[in-house]
């Protein structure tokens, strides 16, 4: 089997919830040994939230090992239970860090201080450690100990203010977007840069990734627009200042969709040529020269009527057919897909084999997100499904920390390994 890029690298994953574990997941997928530090005394709440696996009778399974949310982002990791609220637990944490290449956490500085995991402390036991800290507001500053997750980051970074429809309250993006994309992506990139630096110099270093500053990167032109023009960009619904029509348009219902059967297609015309192609695709070439819609400026001036017109065309077609019809004419268009589409109905994702199916001892066979990118010679893989809570405590204690079975038994009795 081909050697993966991170084989021989060990990650001490002291993170929880989304942003930290998802970053660590990338390293596990491409060959690193990722040791996930957990404790029932401060359980990762993702282990307790839906979706849960189902029993044969249709009821939900219970326990810390059946959350699809948690399992999807922790495949291929080792789980060791370690109570960092105890002095002995902190000592064992240091033993794991001493034998690791990367340390990762997204706890607040207050918790880091409590557990004695500051960079100046852990570098004493491992000067080569690459220590990545990703608290919401950073290690220093008046808000350093503020709590929050993706649902808090979208408002405080300005994303929610620009998300929604005019005249309505901010609505956000409907998911903890920063946790899944921006923050783990930046964290992974920063660790890769630090690994390259260490390969050249032999030196580890501190990585500080305040999630608030990481997320501000995706505001696009909003800050520049205010700086240059004094304009505060606000909610514009699905409309765009550089395209018309631009939005989601109603299509024929689809009885095969689980839950709501309504279907939509997103269309974006960025030029007069794309608008002409759209009109011809729907058999309405005369609308391309209608004075209300002939130019970009006129389409923006009559956007309500424009959207009503396009809706009248799309609502008599299947969403998939509209997408194909327009894509064949090089007009950007795509079905507004559901999770059912993504997993079972999208022929493109199905052919590419994006989702990976793994057999978990408590949830059974389940779909996991595959790698977000492909390497031709060293493709990533999930070595095994997400670990049960504390599944590898004995292995980590014996093989990495170097404890004897009797020492492990004593630590279990003392409440250190819980």
Q: What is the pLDDT of residue 79?
A: 98
How far apart CA 240 and CA 271 sit, in angstroms, is 12
Same domain assignment for residues 150 and 264: no
Same domain assignment for residues 178 and 114: yes
Same domain assignment for residues 115 and 264: no
How many domains is the chain partitioned into structurally?
2
How far apart CA 393 and CA 390 sit, in angstroms, is 5
Spatial contact of 159 and 173, defined as CB atoms under 8 Å apart: yes
Is 179 catalytic? The answer is: yes
pLDDT digits (tens, 9 = 90+) for 157-173: 999 999 999 999 998 88
Q: In angstroms, what is the C-alpha Rg of the chain?
A: 25
- For residue 274, the domain's CATH number is 3.30.1540.10
How does 4-38 read in b/e, with b if 16+ C-beta sit within 10 Å?
Answer: bbbeebbbbbbbbbbbbbbbbbbbbbbbbbbbbbb
In a domain, 379, yes or no: yes
pLDDT exceeds 80 at position 230:
yes
Domain's final residue, options 337, 371, 392: 337
In a domain, 4, yes or no: no
- Mean pLDDT (the chain, rounded): 96
pLDDT band with cut points at 50, 70 and 90 for residue 220: confident
Torsion sign across C-alpha atoms 133, 135, 136, 139: negative
Spatial contact of 119 and 113, defined as CB atoms under 8 Å apart: no
* DSSP-assigned states of every residue in 8-66: T-EEEE---TTHHHHHHHHHHHTT-EEEEEE-GGG--GGGGSSPBPBPTTSPBP-STT-
pLDDT digits (tens, 9 = 90+) for 312-360: 999 999 999 999 999 999 999 999 999 999 999 999 999 999 999 999 9
In a domain, 342, yes or no: no
In a domain, 2, yes or no: no
pLDDT exceeds 90 at position 147:
no
Q: Looking at residue 299, what DSSP letter applies?
A: H
pLDDT digits (tens, 9 = 90+) for 246-293: 999 999 999 999 999 999 999 999 999 999 999 999 999 999 999 999
Alpha helices in 133-231 (DSSP H): 150-156, 177, 183-201, 211-216, 222-229
- For residue 37, the domain's CATH number is 3.40.50.10540
In a domain, 228, yes or no: no
In a domain, 362, yes or no: yes
In a domain, 347, yes or no: no
pLDDT digits (tens, 9 = 90+) for 368-418: 999 999 999 999 999 999 999 999 999 999 999 999 999 999 999 999 999
Same domain assignment for residues 208 and 274: no
Containing structural domain, residue 288: 246-251+259-337
Q: Pick the catalytic residue from 145, 179, 346, 369.
A: 179
pLDDT exceeds 80 at position 1:
no
How far apart CA 151 and CA 214 sit, in angstroms, is 15
pLDDT band with cut points at 50, 70 and 90 for residue 2: confident
Same domain assignment for residues 125 and 85: yes
In a domain, 53, yes or no: yes
Same domain assignment for residues 292 and 317: yes
177, two tokens:
């977007």
* DSSP-assigned states of every residue in 239-298: -BTTBSSEEEEEE---TTSSS---EEEEEE--SHHHHHHHHHHTT-GGGGT-TTTSSHHH
pLDDT band with cut points at 50, 70 and 90 for residue 218: confident
């Amino acid at each position: 089997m081909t050697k993966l890029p991170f084989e021989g690298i060990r990650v001490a994953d002291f993170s929880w919830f989304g942003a930290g574990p998802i970053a660590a997941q990338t390293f596990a997928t491409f060959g690193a040994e990722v040791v996930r530090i957990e404790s029932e005394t401060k359980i990762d709440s993702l282990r307790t939230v839906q979706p849960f696996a189902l029993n044969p009778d249709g009821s939900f399974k219970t326990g810390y090992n059946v959350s699809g949310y948690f399992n999807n982002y922790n495949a291929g990791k080792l789980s060791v239970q370690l109570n960092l609220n105890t002095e002995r637990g902190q000592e064992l944490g240091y033993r794991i860090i001493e034998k690791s290449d990367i340390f990762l956490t997204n706890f607040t500085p207050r918790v880091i201080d409590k557990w004695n995991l500051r960079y100046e402390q852990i570098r004493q036991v491992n000067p080569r450690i690459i220590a990545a800290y990703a608290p919401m507001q950073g290690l220093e500053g008046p808000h350093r100990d503020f709590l929050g997750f993706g649902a808090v980051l979208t408002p405080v970074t300005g994303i929610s203010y620009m998300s929604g429809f005019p005249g309505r309250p901010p609505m956000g993006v409907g998911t903890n977007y920063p946790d899944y994309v921006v923050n783990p992506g930046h964290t992974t990139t920063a660790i890769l840069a630090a690994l390259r630096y260490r390969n050249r110099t032999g030196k580890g270093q501190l990585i500080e990734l305040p999630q608030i500053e990481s997320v501000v990167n995706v505001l696009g032109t909003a800050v520049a627009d205010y700086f240059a023009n004094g304009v505060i960009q606000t909610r514009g619904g699905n409309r765009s200042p550089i395209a018309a029509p631009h939005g989601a348009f109603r299509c024929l219902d689809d009885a095969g969709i689980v839950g709501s059967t309504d279907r939509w297609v997103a269309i974006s015309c960025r030029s007069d040529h794309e608008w002409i192609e759209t009109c011809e695709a729907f058999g309405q070439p005369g609308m391309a020269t209608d004075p209300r819609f002939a130019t970009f400026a006129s389409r923006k001036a009559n956007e309500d009527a424009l959207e009503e017109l396009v809706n009248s065309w799309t609502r008599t077609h299947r969403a998939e057919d509209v997408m194909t019809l327009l894509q064949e004419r090089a007009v950007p268009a795509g079905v507004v897909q559901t999770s059912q589409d993504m997993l079972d109905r999208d022929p493109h994702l199905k052919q590419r084999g994006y989702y990976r199916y793994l057999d978990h001892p408590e949830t059974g066979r389940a779909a996991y997100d595959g790698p977000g990118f492909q390497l031709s010679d060293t493709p990533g893989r999930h070595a095994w499904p997400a670990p049960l809570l504390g599944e590898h405590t004995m292995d980590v204690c014996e093989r990495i920390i170097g404890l004897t079975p009797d020492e492990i038994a004593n630590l279990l009795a003392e409440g250190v390994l819980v």
